Amino acid sequence: MKNIAGLMKQAQQMQQKMQDMQAEIEAMEVEGQAGGGLVKAVMTGKGNAVSLSIDPSLVAEGDHEMLEDLAVAAFNDAKAKADALMQDKMKDVTGGMNLPAGMKLPF
């Protein structure tokens, strides 16, 4: 029975750590770039778009399709960075538990 009580306590601690981590990630902002920094996108750690910055030289060129592609690439870059942040934070939270391979959290 001691093992079950210890496991329950460990699960409660992990749940609290996960809630704290989720709040921390939601407050974080990541910046993605495309076109050598000519287009920059900022997203929250949860993947919500915050802002988009486009260098004025791109607008003057008049290449609308390229501008759209760069904006999408910048947001994708920011999303990839947000995902990487979340994975790193999850390692911190679950580092002390011996979870079976392939088990994903939250359940």
Report the chain's mean pLDDT, rounded to a whole number. 80
How many domains are there within the chain?
A: 1
Q: What is the DSSP string of 56-102?
A: HHHHHHT-HHHHHHHHHHHHHHHHHHHHHHHHHHHHHHHTTS-PPTT
- 22, two tokens: 């989720």
Per-residue confidence (pLDDT) for residue 98, from 0 to 100? 55
CATH number of the CATH domain containing 75: 3.30.1310.10
- Is pLDDT of 15 > 90? no
Neighbour-count burial of 12, counting CB atoms closer than 10 A to its CB (0-12 exposed, 13-18 middle, 19+ buried): exposed
In a domain, 27, yes or no: no
Range of 82's domain? 32-93
For the chain, how big is the Rg over CA atoms in Å?
A: 20
pLDDT band at 107 (very low <50, low <70, confident <90, very high): very low
Q: What is the pLDDT of residues 27-85, one digit of tens each?
A: 888 899 999 999 898 888 877 888 888 888 888 767 778 888 888 898 888 888 888 88
75 belongs to a structural domain: yes
Q: Is residue 19 part of a domain?
A: no
